[in-house]
Structure 1
Amino acid sequence: MYATASDGTKLYYETAGEGGTPILFVHEFGGNYDAWEPQMSFFARRHRCITYAARGYAPSDIPDDVEKYSQAIAASDALAVLDALGIEKAHVVGLSMGGFATLHFGLRYPERALSLTVAGAGYGTERETADYFRNTSLKVAENFEKDPAGFSKIYALGASRVQFQNKDPRGWATFAERLSRHSAVGAANTMRGVQCRRPSFWDLEEELKRMSVPTLVMTGDEDDHCLQPSIYLKKMLPAAGLAILPKTGHTLNLEEPALFNALVADFIAQAEQGAWKVRDPRADPGQVMRTE
């Protein structure tokens, strides 16, 4: 099944489950729609679940023009999938690149979000590493363009991926094999159009402070370049909670599926009951202890 984006790009999607509120899963750069299988199987018992392949990822369309890829387009593509299914509001769950898309979905279309789960998001947003991230992303784009299957073996062993390999070699092997099937054009354009150009969280401070959609921010404690950005989101978003998974890297939903599912399930349950509220103003971060 395909949704049609605002520019005509076709986006492949799959669904599971018939009852309950909808959950839309948005994948990371290193994944695809099928990387959410542990979540689709689990949440479909009580929810209508949707996963889709981002533009640039087969079987979705793979535009040749890099200008067809951006952070804003990624958010509008998520909306296009919901529109194709006639879904007015959904819980949106995203990892890494998908986490950025989820956050921007909440900033642009808050009326369409029941809640947001922003997991493993932060790469390129830290001021001190922004130039390094952009230059590295351009090099990654070049490498995928030349030899996606060969370079995937290197990319899959990044500093925040080896935790997954150590815990679950079979699961990591499936992740690496999926990565090897990336489109050379799609991967390169995604890196150049989305990753390299997206704004830093710190550039969005005023927008973040105004966005009150219930939000769960998640990161692994060994995903070093997501830790501080995740703490920043916790501080800026009025209705955010922060979960840090111990001894965990970047591929949260596959590396720790049971813990990931439990945290998201509890969060969604609270959000649906109206129990996930904005931070109590008495919890003043400037106060160390109360004296009067």
Structure 2
Amino acid sequence: MRVFEFEGADGTTLTAWSNEAEGPPVLLCNGLAAPASAWPGFLSPDCGFHVVSWNQRGFLGSQRPDDVTTVEIPAQAHDALALMEHMQWEDALVVGWSFGVNMAVEFTMRNPQRTTALLAIAGLPGGTFKGLLGNSNLPVGMRQALGKRGSARGAKRGPLINRAVESLPSPATLVDTMRTVGALGRRADPVQAEEMVGDYLTHDFGWFFQVASVVGAHETLDPSTISCPVTVLTGREDLITDYRQVIAWGDEVPDAQVRVLKATHFIPLERPDVVLASLQDLLIRSGQDISSGPDTTESDWLP
């Protein structure tokens, strides 16, 4: 993996990464503050796709702006375009995960000519707090209120949270706990999961919750205007985002396929095979093709 810097839309210095693989270009709009280690399938040099992504403002080496409003979803979509320009790509497959689905859909709607296809994983196109807490059956209004209140309090108590994080057990113990409570599926490789959790623990959580508060306020977009091929992946065991709401927005998109997996929120970590197979399918649906790639069977999907 190659790590490099580029200038965001307003000149902010951002860090980015490329898997340096041969294949069709893929622009990844990652989850909020998510590290590259969340994507083991993309980090393989023989994955068949040239994937690039960037670390969002204030995370993992990217410059933190003085004005937190510059992390709003439209601004981050502009950063995505700036990365494409830096790569000198005319177009790309666009992938979004979790909060990154906000960015990916925003980017696609603003730049339809630059998006050959869209893969949306375990996220909503805006209104993210409305789907908070998975399939808990809480009313939408309560989910949204909890998201707003929780992120506001987290932003104020950042130093306390950072100190608490320092006293947490090892990433290996945290991964075991996540599996026990059902937040992470057994399919995830434990070493890869530990690396991802360890990367998350390096964050300034005061800033994390400030950004969550801003991007969580992004209004729901109308995905029915998207004209490129779309695949939506969601996990029936997701404890973070309500998979039923993910299915509902996917059903609004004219050329979308919605697939429900035996997975949690961490589909990129648990089912990298399905992610890669979905991208290959999108290549075919968008009029492109590659000679070889991962295969899946119908047993991978839930009805």
TM-score (ref. length: structure 1):
0.80
Is the 1:58–1:183 contact (alpha carbons within 8 Å) kept by the matching residues of 2?
Answer: no
Distance 1:26 1:98 in 2: 5
Of 255, 276, 281 in structure 1, the residue corresponding to residue 270 of structure 2 is 255
8 Å contact kept, 1:149–1:180:
no
Counterparts of 2:144 and 2:248 in 1: how far apart (Å)?
Answer: 16
Aligned match of 1:243 = 259
1:175 equivalent in alignment to 2:199 = no
Match of 1:61 in 2: 63
Report SS of the residue matched to 1:125: helix
Match status 1:131 vs 2:145 = yes
Q: Deviations over 1:136-190 (max 9, x none)?
A: 2223434545333634859986799844264444333222211111134541331
Q: Which runs of 5+ in 2 are unaligned?
A: 132-139, 290-303
| Counterpart contact for 1:161–1:249, Cα < 8 Å | no
Change (3 A) 1:38 1:87: same
- Once the two structures are TM-superposed, the CA of residue 219 in structure 1 deviates from its matched residue by 0.9
Question: What letter corresponds to residue 32 of structure 1 in structure 2?
Answer: P
Higher helix share: 1
Q: Partner of 1:33 in structure 2?
A: 36
Aligned AA (1:199)? E
How much identity, in percent, do the aligned residues show?
Answer: 22
| Counterpart amino acid of residue 7 in structure 1 | D
The counterpart of 2:248, out of the listed 232, 246, 249, is 232
Change in Cα spacing, 1:105 to 1:219, as seen in structure 2 (3 Å) is: same
Helix, strand or coil: the match of 1:115? Answer: strand
CA contact (8 A) 2:40 2:268 kept: no
* Larger CA deviation: 77-86 vs 54-63: 54-63
> Offset at 1:70?
0.5
Deviations 1:2-49 (A, max 9, x none): 22112111121122346432111222125223433421316x553322
- Within a 5 Å distance, the mapping from 1:79-158 to structure 2 comes to 79-122=81-124, 123-126=128-131, 127-128=140-141, 129-148=143-162, 150-151=164-165
Letter in 1 for 2:8: A
Q: Equivalent residue of 1:170, what SS? A: helix
CA pair 16-173 structure 1, distance change in 2 beyond 3 A: closer
Please report the TM-score for the alignment, with normalisation by the length of structure 2: 0.77
Residue from 178, 199, 206 that aligns with 2:219: 199
In structure 2, do the counterparts of structure 1 residues 141 and 161 end up closer, same or farther at CA, with 3 Å as the change threshold? farther
Q: Distance in 1 between matches of 2:271 and 2:159?
A: 31
Flag structure 1 segments of 5+ consecutive residues without an equivalent: 275-292
3-state SS of paired residue (1:188): helix
Pair 1:150–1:261, CA change in 2 (3 A): farther
Compared with structure 1, are the counterparts of its residues 74 and 146 closer, same or farther at alpha carbon in structure 2 (3 Å cutoff)? farther
Is the Cα–Cα contact under 8 Å of residues 77 and 103 in structure 2 kept in the other structure?
A: yes
* CA distance 1:160–1:134, change in 2 (3 Å): farther
Code of the aligned partner of 1:23: V
The alpha-carbon distance between structure 1 residues 144 and 18, as it changes in their structure 2 partners (threshold 3 A), is same
Secondary structure of 1:99 counterpart: helix
Q: How many Å separate the matches in 2 of 1:72 and 1:87?
A: 20
Structure 1 residue 89 displacement after superposition: 0.4
Measured in 2, the distance between the counterparts of 1:198 and 1:233 equals 16
SS in 2 for 1:3: strand
The 3-state SS of whatever aligns with 1:237 is coil
User: Structure 1 175/40 Cα, relative in aligned 2: closer, same or farther at 3 Å?
Assistant: closer
